[in-house]
Amino acid sequence: MKASIRYLSLLFCSLLGACDAQRASPAATGTARVDGTRIAAADQEPGSWMSHGRTYGEQRFSPLKNIDAQTVGKLGLAWTYKLDVDRATEATPIVVDGVMYVTGAYSIVSALDPVSGKELWKFDPKVPRDTDRQGCCDVANRGVAVWKGRVYVGAYDGRLIALDARSGQPVWEVDTVLDHQRSYTVTGAPRVIKDKVVIGNGGAEFGVRGYVTAYDAATGKQVWRFFTVPGDPSKPPENKAMEIALPTWKGDRWWKDGGGGGGTAWDSMAYDPALDLLYIGTGNASLWNRATRSPGGGDNLFVSSIVAIRPDTGDYVWHYQTTPADTWDYTATQHIVLADLQIADKPRKVLMQAPKNGFFYVIDRETGELISAQKFAPANWASSVDLKTGRPVETAVADWTKEPKLISPGPLGAHNWQPMSFNPQTGLVYIPMQEAAALYVPDAKQRFTGKGTWHMGTQPIAFPENDAKALQGIMDLHKGHLIAWDPVAQKEVWRQSYVTVWNGGTLSTAGNLVFQGTADGRFVAYSADKGEKLWETPANTGVMAGPISYSIDGEQYVSVAAGWGGAFPVILGGLSEPAKVRPEARVLTYKLGGTAALPTPKALPARQPEPPAFTPEPKKVARGRDLYNAHCGMCHGPNAIAGSVLPDLRYLSAEKHGIFAGILAGAYAQKGMPSFMDVLAAEDVDSIHHYLVKRAQDLQGELAVAADKIEPPRP
């Protein structure tokens, strides 16, 4: 009888189009009955988290306040759920109608009971495990969208899949990839607007043309596609937007040698129902080096831009370019937040973004007019933004196209994909800010050479070898902070500092709280107004994703998907050592009085196997170093100094040394190690092996001196 009453209650709520999660059955396999009316009225359902940023405006603010500055000290673990793959965990869970939907690495979707963490169903899109090579920054997925009884997930290999929310069974599947000769991926969460599922793609470092596509939510049929950069310059532009963009590119090297121009829209979107405008953030140009990419100059629209388009048609309305002629990998794909602010005694409908380039932008979201821009982080590439022209004032140090330059921010950015949040009660934005300078070294000879190969116009990343002091100096350039930013006054209000970069996204709540996970394996709550640390708990792993809060039957929960990975520990390898964490992927959910126990962390790996006894040939070692950094270092760490996510190849066993050539030929493809024989010859493989043996022997000597060193995982 109770079940029947509860079902009728859910049905009644569905018909009204508004049903608080706290009224839903935590045991039910809810049907995600979400539509635009319901998302637009999200504050009427404070217990639900129905879309990626909770609201269309992506503020990531929860109106719930049972957990507040006075009670947060009683917060305890309610439950944990182990995700399948211990790799980059970047998803924001969705909680609606009594069910949580969350993704892990390789785009695997789980539906969970949000009270107990019990698995209701799981869907594995079977992304080939050797697709790692096709993307820049690990096999991450940032979450799903739900709409009218369906769950939508973008698979890493480029598919968009609609699932039945009740069963997890596929309803339809489409291939979003424009050209399979290019390395397109999907890591972002879809958004659903007016019965259209909108998704972008990644791949700018690999030479692709960026775009955003809308598909009919019911059928999967493509409705429109908005290209972010022009196509083949020998052909007429496809539409008005491309007519605007094409003259800002010079020559044709960006198309022939750069592989497509870049500008991929791989993450951030927001929507204003009143203005009926969809805002997308676009990525960096391809190649990075603008002198190689577009000789003769040009702003290269619409890379590193915020673009407003009509969600019904994909028609261009306006744009603002945060970094004209981007040459530093300064994406504008970072979190976009919409808010109504009182500026100069006038109410303004604004869009806010803190992109990689280190400036915080406040923009009129109706017209695209720049209202203000100030540095929120150290940035030596530009002195300021000219409010009359909207353009940055570049400094002398900015141009690295002729000689190496140490520039801040570097490619990690002053703020990366980890979402910021806005609290309308404090009026503050909470930003996972970071200091991460980098040395840019030009490589003007670089050309597009095919799928699965990085194309940046820079020399491969390389670190000092056998020089602990120099390596420590590079680590010291990487500092992480949580800052509270006043967007009206354009100034910092408070900050908390961390041991390194790559700390998690933020959640702010009506309980005067800000929640954030950290790179060094903690989950922390601060007072939103003053930044005082009020509570923290161990997470056993680095926490990067944005937390959420929801309520069921009057009980408030805070939940975060935890798990280390992504660009910093993978691409920069050993620089992530100060975090001292391992990749352990879980959903962690807390409530007042929670008493669940966090499972014991993974055991430390075995000691380094004995390296091969032969003496590597110096010429092969030198050649192998360059080949390794160009083809292997982006996953296994520059100079064979890995992070804790992927295997450190200095720890190869005798067996793996014996079959090294076979491994690079694809013997371990199903374990996630792709073949490289399309770009490496037999003598290249031999040189890389000599280099790795030398590095293993170097490490053996280091470990003899420092026997208590925490070691990366062996393959």
**Cis previous bond, 302, omega within 30:** yes
pLDDT digits (tens, 9 = 90+) for 451-478: 888 878 888 888 888 888 888 888 888 9
In sequence order, the 6+-apart residues with CB closer than 8 A to the CB of 104 are 83, 84, 85, 87, 89, 91, 110, 141, 561, 563, 585
Rounded distance between C-alpha atoms, residue 305 and residue 267, angstroms: 13
Averaged confidence pLDDT in the chain: 91
* Number of helices (H), then strands (E), in the chain: 12, 37
Q: What is the 3-state secondary structure (H, E, C) of 37-90?
A: HHHHCHHHCCCCECCCCCCCCCCCEECCCCCCCCCHHHEEEEEEEECCCCCCCC
Query: Given pLDDT bands bounded at 50, 70 and 90, which one contains residue 713?
Result: low
Q: Bridge-partner residues for 110, per DSSP?
A: 102, 122
Buried b (16+ CB within 10 A) or exposed e, 662-697: ebbbeebeeebbbbbeebbeeebbbbbbbbbbbbbb
Domain shared by 352 and 461, yes or no:
yes
Query: Quick check: 377 and 434 in contact, CB under 8 A?
Result: yes
User: Catalytic one among 132, 299, 329, 520?
Assistant: 329
Going from the C-alpha of 520 to that of each of 77, 539, 583, the distances in angstroms are: 19, 9, 11
Tell me, rounded to whole angstroms, the distance of Cα 488 from its chain centroid.
27
Q: Is residue 523 part of a domain?
A: yes
In DSSP terms, 212 is beta-bridged to: 200, 226
Amino acid 604: pLDDT = 66
Active site residue 329: yes
Q: Which residue's structure tokens are 């350039």?
A: 477
pLDDT, mean of residues 71-89: 97
- Residues 551 and 684 grouped into a single domain: no
284 pLDDT higher than 90: yes
Cβ contact 282:303 at 8 Å: yes
Q: How many domains does the chain have?
A: 2
CB 318 within 8 A of CB 277: no
10 Å CB burial of residue 592 (0-12, 13-18, 19+) is middle
pLDDT of residue 343: 97
**How confident is the model at residue 531, as a pLDDT?**
98
Beta-carbon-side half-sphere exposure of residue 113 (alpha carbons within 13 Å):
12
pLDDT in tens, 550-563: 999 999 999 999 99
Q: What is the pLDDT of residue 21?
A: 41
pLDDT tens digits along 119-131: 999 999 999 988 8
The pLDDT of residue 705? 74
Which residue do the tokens 């700390």 mark?
503
CATH (domain of 690): 1.10.760.10
pLDDT of residue 537 exceeding 60: yes
Nearest Cα residue to 632 out of 132, 260, 129, 106: 132
> Which CATH number does the domain housing residue 330 bear?
2.140.10.10
Q: Which tokens in the block code for residue 339?
A: 């808010």
- Which residue, 543, 545, 525, 527, is CA-closest to 535? 525
Q: Render pLDDT for 632-661 as a digit per residue (tens, 0 to 9).
A: 888 898 888 888 888 899 999 999 999 999
Distances (CA, A) of 193 to 279, 312, 339: 12, 9, 19
Residues 6 or more apart whose Cβ sits within 8 Å of residue 163: 109, 123, 150, 151, 152, 153, 169, 170, 171
C-alpha distances out from residue 320 to 330, 353, 420, 556, 601, Å: 14, 11, 20, 39, 46
The C-alpha atoms of residue 336 and residue 267 are separated, in whole angstroms, by 10
**The pLDDT value given to residue 114:** 98
647 and 556, same domain (yes or no) = no
| pTM metric for this prediction | 0.93
30 in a structural domain? no
Count the residues in the chain: 715
In a domain, 447, yes or no: yes
Does residue 532 share a domain with residue 678? no
Tokens 């990419």 map to which residue? 293
Q: 10 Å Cβ neighbour count for 162? A: 24
Nearest to 570 by CA among 620, 629, 642: 642
In a domain, 279, yes or no: yes
Taking residues 245-273, report their average pLDDT: 91
For residue 31, is it within any domain?
no
Residue 126 tokens read as: 């079977």
Q: Is the peptide bond before 419 cis (omega within 30 degrees of 0)?
A: no
pLDDT at 451: 82
pLDDT (0 to 100) of residue 454: 84
CA distance 576 to 475: 8
pLDDT at 520: 97
Q: Do 258 and 305 have their domain in common? A: yes
Work out the angle at residue 501's Cα, subtended by the Cα atoms of residues 499 and 502, and round it to the nearest 5 degrees. 125
The letter for the amino acid at 504 is G
Q: Let me know if residue 243 belongs to a domain.
A: yes
Question: Domain ends where: 592, 607, 633?
Answer: 592
Which residues form the domain of 701? 618-705
Task: Tell me the C-alpha distance between 385 and 373, whole Å.
Answer: 6
Do 548 and 557 contact (CB within 8 A), yes or no? no
In a domain, 711, yes or no: no
Q: Within a domain: residue 67?
A: no
Same domain, 121 and 235: yes
The SS3 assignment for 570 reads helix
Do 454 and 376 share a domain, yes or no?
yes
Looking at the fold, whether 502 and 631 belong to one and the same domain comes out as no
Summarised one tens digit per residue, pLDDT across range 303-358 is 999 999 999 999 999 999 999 999 999 999 999 999 999 999 999 999 999 999 99
- State what percent of residues in the chain have pLDDT above 70: 94
Domain boundary among 574, 592, 610: 592
Same domain for 579 and 519, yes or no, is yes
**Tokens matching residue 328:** 């530093």
Question: Does residue 504 share a domain with residue 418?
Answer: yes
Question: Residues 369, 493: one domain?
Answer: yes
Q: At what angle do helices 618-631 and 682-705 cross, to 10 degrees?
A: 100
Q: What is the pLDDT of residue 258?
A: 62
Same domain assignment for residues 469 and 341 = yes
